Structure 1
Amino acid sequence: MSVEGPDFALETLLLPLLDGPLSWPREGGALFLRARDGWPLHQRAWPGLVCEQSFRPAADALQRSGLTLVDAADASLHPLVLVLPPRQRDEARALYARAIARTAPGGRVLACVRNDEGAKSGEADLARLAGPLGQLSKNKCRAFWTAPLHGAIDPALFAQWRELDAPRPIADGRFLSRPGVFAWDRIDAASALLAAHLPTDLRGAAADLGAGYGYLSSELLARCPGIVSLDLYEAEHRALDLARLNLASQAARIAIGWHWHDVTVGLDRRYDVIVSNPPFHAQGRADRPDIGRRFIAVAAAALHAGGRLWLVANRHLPYEAELARHFAQVRTVAQDQGFKVFEAIRG
């Protein structure tokens, strides 16, 4: 898979620790929320550093580099908490609140945001919880850090922001979702188009690649009574947790598997049916059609002979050649609202 270029936010995040004015804790190490691997993390030793990352490809990269990962359920406190906040503001605010909650008395939170992804508003948000901040700007990014903390300066706002990541009803209560997951506050139009064209004769063992909060899986089970088992593969753990909630009633009557998994590394099971609305971004903004092409290749390898892939994509994404390379039969089922739906049958 291709990479997305230099990680200037990660580089800038560490500058206050490399060049001052901050120093690495002598004891207790640090917690790195939404950690990403990259050469800046390997400039020197960071004794006691532990990382948390809910996006499986990024988590796998951290582990391959020998960094220690902790589960999101871990509640230990640290004298330094590093944060690379996401672009979605409610999600970022919840993360700032969680960072403060994980900071030991007298510890600091250090964050960094790219200028074009809301550095000024991110700095202002952390200041609302923690008071005046230090700041360093470089690489078109802004690193900012708290004074030694003894909790949030506004406990009511802190409590409010901590709840911003909690699952909440969407789509007239049909599903639970949360800020930051794909199409978090709505039913995605592309997935809805695919669901509307799923034939009722799909049967056997099925998989949903890039399942999100579970909409497409729910529709597949509702429309296709011949499906006997379903595996959901999702790289974002926060989304997979939602899918478990949203498909709880179906799980009582059919075997459902939940896989926190990077589909691009391949699957170790075989299926009769695969449905997918593959991602075409990673954690950056650039289009990544290579991810969708890899989903297609992985789906073909995981289907039995005669197995069927139902896939939706943005109309501008060039997937036709990859489908033709891996499948005996390919047809365009629908084109609408800027999307296209394919059925592909394994030879």
Structure 2
Amino acid sequence: MTSTQADPALQALLLPFADGTLAWPSAGALFLRARDGWPLHERPLPGLVCEQGFKPDADALRRSGWDVRAPDDGKYPLVLVLPPRQRDEARALFAEALDRLQPGGVIIASAANDAGAKSHEADLARIAGPLSSRSKHKCRVFWTRPGAAGGDAALAAQWRGLDAPRPIAGGRFTSRPGVFAWDRIDAASALLAQHLPADLRGNAADLGAGWGYLSMELLQRCPGIAALDLYEAEARALALARVNLEPFAARAALGFHWHDVTAGLPSRYDVIVSNPPFHAQGNVARPDIGRRFIAVAAEALRPGGRLWLVANRHLPYEQVLDASFGSVRVAAQHDGFKVVEAVKAGHGAGRVR
């Protein structure tokens, strides 16, 4: 998202400062799950520190000159929060906001009405005490000065661990609330894994690797894979992939990259696998992201290199596949998904559909 695009939740979050209801502290503030946008640029926000684990959003904040840092234990007189949709993850984030707040400070949060705003507001009230709130731009903004009667410190302590990594799928993998398909094996990824041919070999990449399921399946099914780079934009998911791929460290050279795939790849590969995302903030459909993943894969593959891709059958990827690869075939279709193999043209190779 660019700083000129609409972001109603961010706009609502800054509203109490714009109209003078709340004063911006001279000692600065912490912004959890920060996003760049024009409301951040309307007035000076001295000392704002941003934390964001999603690479495209972190990069956008840095391009705008904001101070983006890795999580630490610093405390602030003001903590701003844009809570995620997943409720356990959001509750853990509210508990973190309490931990990062100086005595007497203010927590303020905002969410779209159709993204659980009322539930988020009720949750913050349970651990922090009475709130003030306002509705605007089809969002709710709500804030509190914890310390008054009504906050539940014991519940806040319990919520701090709600998004902790844990075993899933009978203990086969480690995941955590908030990452894509966090508590299950994604059906589309499973379909792709079932159709990966055993003869894939050489240097490989997994684009949008998540917590590492496809990468693990690729290494298990294809003994010729000598090296594998995982590219993932969400830092929380990439950390899980490191854990899940640890048993394969002696099997192949592994690379873990916190990276926005749409910006291109720094290396060349013989094999690429991907279940590309096609939604953006607010669950808005963004098939252009998937198309860009395909174009980037084509750029990164060596001549004769193979892309194995899974997508919803309705997504319009055929044009970019045909334009980018020498041959394209649908290897499987099931339950609304399609598995595609695309081979990059070699020197002198023709195009096959």
Aligned length: 345
Aligned with 1:332 (options 315, 330, 333): 330
The equivalent residue for 1:66 is 65
Asked whether 1:224 is paired with 2:207, we answer no
Specify whether residues 150 and 270 from structure 1 end up closer, same or farther in structure 2 by C-alpha distance, changes over 3 A only: farther
Indicate conservation of the 8 Å contact 1:37/1:58, yes or no: yes
Secondary structure of 1:317's match?
A: coil
Deviations 1:36-90 (A, max 9, x none): 0000000011110010000000000000000000102x11000000000011111
Give the deviation of 1:144 after TM superposition.
0.5
Indicate conservation of the 8 Å contact 2:3/2:38, yes or no: no
Cα distance in 2 for residues equivalent to 1:3 and 1:190? 33
The equivalent residue for 1:24 is 24
Give the deviation of 1:3 after TM superposition.
9.9
Asked whether 1:94 is paired with 2:84, we answer no
Specify whether residues 151 and 310 from structure 1 end up closer, same or farther in structure 2 by C-alpha distance, changes over 3 A only: farther
**TM-score under structure 2 normalisation?**
0.95
The equivalent residue for 1:54 is 53
Specify whether residues 42 and 154 from structure 1 end up closer, same or farther in structure 2 by C-alpha distance, changes over 3 A only: same
Indicate conservation of the 8 Å contact 1:105/1:150, yes or no: no
Q: Which moved more, 1:247-256 or 1:269-278?
A: 247-256
Indicate conservation of the 8 Å contact 1:107/1:149, yes or no: no
Secondary structure of 2:283's match?
A: coil
Cα distance in 1 for residues equivalent to 2:169 and 2:263? 33
Secondary structure of 1:12's match?
A: helix
**TM-score under structure 1 normalisation?**
0.97
% identical equivalent positions:
70
Secondary structure of 2:202's match?
A: strand
Indicate conservation of the 8 Å contact 2:4/2:37, yes or no: no
Specify whether residues 2 and 15 from structure 1 end up closer, same or farther in structure 2 by C-alpha distance, changes over 3 A only: closer
Q: 1:187-206 residue pairs with structure 2 within 5 A?
A: 187-206=185-204
Give the deviation of 1:155 after TM superposition.
2.4
The equivalent residue for 1:233 is 231
The equivalent residue for 1:248 is 246
Cα distance in 2 for residues equivalent to 1:69 and 1:206? 31
Cα distance in 2 for residues equivalent to 1:158 and 1:71? 23
Secondary structure of 1:164's match?
A: coil
Indicate conservation of the 8 Å contact 1:324/1:330, yes or no: yes
Cα distance in 1 for residues equivalent to 2:149 and 2:257? 36
Cα distance in 2 for residues equivalent to 1:242 and 1:320? 32
Specify whether residues 49 and 2 from structure 1 end up closer, same or farther in structure 2 by C-alpha distance, changes over 3 A only: closer
Asked whether 1:43 is paired with 2:42, we answer yes
Specify whether residues 93 and 339 from structure 1 end up closer, same or farther in structure 2 by C-alpha distance, changes over 3 A only: same
Which residues of structure 2 form unaligned runs of 5+? 346-353
Deviations 1:248-304 (A, max 9, x none): 110133210000000000001000000000000122222111000000000000000
The equivalent residue for 2:152 is 154
Specify whether residues 66 and 150 from structure 1 end up closer, same or farther in structure 2 by C-alpha distance, changes over 3 A only: farther
Indicate conservation of the 8 Å contact 1:208/1:275, yes or no: yes
Indicate conservation of the 8 Å contact 1:2/1:290, yes or no: no
* AA matched with 2:44: A
Deviations 1:129-148 (A, max 9, x none): 00100112111111101124
Give the deviation of 1:14 after TM superposition.
0.5
The equivalent residue for 2:121 is 123
Give the deviation of 1:309 after TM superposition.
0.3
